[in-house]
Amino acid sequence: MPTRVCCCCSALRPRYKRLVDNIFPEDPKDGLVKADMEKLTFYAVSAPEKLDRIGSYLAERLSRDVVRHRSGYVLIAMEALDQLLMACHSQSIKPFVESFLHMVAKLLESGEPKLQVLGTNSFVKFANIEEDTPSYHRRYDFFVSRFSAMCHSCHSDPEIRTEIRIAGIRGIQGVVRKTVNDELRATIWEPQHMDKIVPSLLFNMQKIEEVDSRIGPPPSPSAADKEENPAVLAENCFRELLGRATFGNMNNAVRPVFAHLDHHKLWDPNEFAVHCFKIIMYSIQAQYSHHVIQEILGHLDARKKDSPRVRAGIIQVLLEAVAIAAKGSIGPTVLEVFNTLLKHLRLSVEFEANDLQGGSVGSANLNTSTKDNDEKIVQNAIIQTIGFFGSNLPDYQRSEIMMFIMGKVPVFGTSTHTLDISQLGDLGTRRIQIMLLRSLLMVTSGYKAKTIVTALPGSFLDPLLSPSLMEDYELRQLVLEVMHNLMDRHDNRAKLRGIRIIPDVADLKIKREKICRQDTSFMKKNGQQLYRHIYLGCKEEDNVQKNYELLYTSLALITIELANEEVVIDLIRLAIALQDSAIINEDNLSMFHRCGIMALVAAYLNFVSQMIAVPAFCQHVSKVIEIRTMEAPYFLPEHIFREKCMLPKSLEKHDKSLCFLTNKIAESLGGSGYSVERLSVPYVPQVTDEDRLSRRKSIVDTVSIQVDILPNSIPSDDVVSNTEEITFEALKKAIDTSGMEEQEKEKRRLVIEKFQKAPFEEIAAQCESKANLLHDRLAQILELTIRPPPSPSGTLTITSGHAQYQSVPVYEMKFPDLCVY
């Protein structure tokens, strides 16, 4: 019962107190006296200077009723406060607000859930009122702490616990709405507030039974769910909080998320972590996406020594964030993302290598195997993230990333890479090579450059081709696949998948365009380099079926994308050289690999003959394939790459009809207007330092080159004086080569070195001089009359293995075709 005073004392009390006392009935069950409440409201509006006194008196009465547990009068007092607050909008309301907030704080401090919910509801109503001017001295620290504590309520009654948590979330939402929009007010974006608000919301969001794992933005909750479900209400509040974040306070809102996920060990499994960051990425403004990505990268660095599954969980979260941000604003973090990911890729490989080296027998082996599998999960997650991020970048940035990754790939014998591999060892280095090339493969997927020079500049092509000479079939496969991604500008690769004899290439509907001048220049400059790597790649001892398929696809893509008449001739020369190498077998390849090369040559010549549509050429290729089908099916890809294929014991006894003949091809192409002079020059691969880097036997030791000089005129005296004298005994000794192997090797080396390093004009002049000298001496000694050839210069005859090719005038031969390559 409220305290009653006598009539004399009541008349002496201030009017505002009398009006306040009159709104309280004798029985609190009757509720607020509406008539007296209207009088109090009218008085407050008419005399706003009395608002602060009204508020102080109401607060005094409410505090007394709370202590005495008079809940009915507490409800009436709060209802009166709410009505006054909604009715009065003036400058004088600010002192009244202080009394109001003091009363709300009293209710929140009470231990009764009903009063806590009542205070929260009043605060939410207050939060929705827009004040004319901000209050700079007002602070909400207590309310942030109290509402956050209510979000973690552990009341024994589930219904009351849910009610208190919902009240706490709504209170936090009210604080956010009241303070977040005005930067001049005391802000809640300070870390001490965010460290309470964000974990409280996340704690309630964890109660969602089914986490939405879709790529698109999560659906907006319905109004009923917001009021009844703490998880949905917390998620909605979290979205609202992030949507109001600005450039300066974005990081303060995101960092508590990491602390919460770490504390509750939610990175493994990481479904909730992924869900949280999807909400973050879809809620914040697009231009701030890179801040979130930077925070994830920083946290990944901080947890680099954690278990592989924790790191994999963080990387998968990064992938989801990148997937959402990639099409928007990435900001300046592009290289930072890739650099951090490649650093962690190296760390993962290093951890894996250390575990393999430190593994022991018994149960330790099982633990090591489990760790290895976990590290592979980390590595695959990194590669997937790199690929997804890179594939969504614009072309100019993707080119930079390709160069950046390629610069990290270690190559044996060089120090050009920028990745620290000192702790990896050979096994770890191979593993990091594979991982980096897989990353590069992901980045180049879908890349379409207008010209091949843009896709494969010299600064990128040279380091890319270096791993293609490594003695590791998987590395070579990855290099070829990267090349295919960059070469295939018309999406023809899928049509060429699998090495086979295509009956009618027209059925594939190959897309191609006329070769532009830039692509022609590229092939003139880099064609021999590409041919060389294909040639040597075919002769590797550890090739499997996939290697031959990729090599075939490489030849086909070059034909489609980059081949003019000159390139077609070079590719045919390359194919014939591969056929010869399989027959001669100077590299001591197994029978499977020799037959594989023969099958590759057959498949490619069948393809190129139909692409250039020369009937005679197609007829010759078809005839050879038909004969092979009947007599030597192991020379065809459909047979040699089967699991159980009968292999021949030898290839030397096979009939020439099973081989593609240079003279037949030259005759057929010459009749169609092709310049076939170069077909008579055997293809010899270029010798470079890459042979040393790849740790293979140098091609110089396997190629025999013989240079025959034919005479045409009498030399001048000064030339004769500087030339070794040739006599009959010298010629006889030259014919008898027994015991002269070392001298022959030295001469061969000098000739090769000369043709590699000397200028072309000097070589041509010296050849002509020696031809004249030899003509004169032979005529004198043998007393033979030899008519000089009509050509003003000498000719060269080149022998490679068992095949001898006709002499070609020196001045008609291009320098690379001599024996430099």
Give me the DSSP letters along 398-443.
HHHHHHHHHTT---TT-----S--TTTHHHHHHHHHHHHHHHHHHH
Q: What is the pLDDT of residue 274?
A: 94
User: pTM score, two decimals?
Assistant: 0.70
Which of 264, 268, 282, 276 lies closest to 213, judged by CA?
Answer: 276
Write down the domain spans for the chain: 7-134, 448-693
Which of 583, 589, 597, 516 lies closest to 555, judged by CA?
Answer: 597
Distance CA 398, CA 460 (A): 13
- The mean-pLDDT minimum among 103-117, 365-379, 555-569 falls in 365-379
CB atoms within 10 A of CB 552: 24
User: What mean pLDDT is reported for the chain?
Assistant: 78
Half-sphere exposure of 399 (CA within 13 A, CB side): 14
**Residue 754 identity (one-letter amino acid):** K
- The mean-pLDDT minimum among 166-175, 193-202, 474-483, 705-714 falls in 705-714
pLDDT band at 222 (very low <50, low <70, confident <90, very high): low
**Interval 584-596: pLDDT, tens:** 988 899 999 999 9
Distance CA 324, CA 315 (A): 14
Which secondary structure element, helix H or strand E, spans residue 803, and what is its range?
strand 803-804
CA 494, distance to chain mean position in Å, is 21
**Interval 44-84: pLDDT, tens:** 778 777 777 887 888 788 888 888 878 888 888 888 877 88
**Interval 655-709: pLDDT, tens:** 788 999 999 999 999 988 888 888 888 898 876 655 544 444 333 333 333 333 3
Which residue do the tokens 């990333």 mark?
401
Distance CA 444, CA 245 (A): 36
Between 358 and 512, the higher pLDDT residue? 512
Average pLDDT over residues 484-513: 92
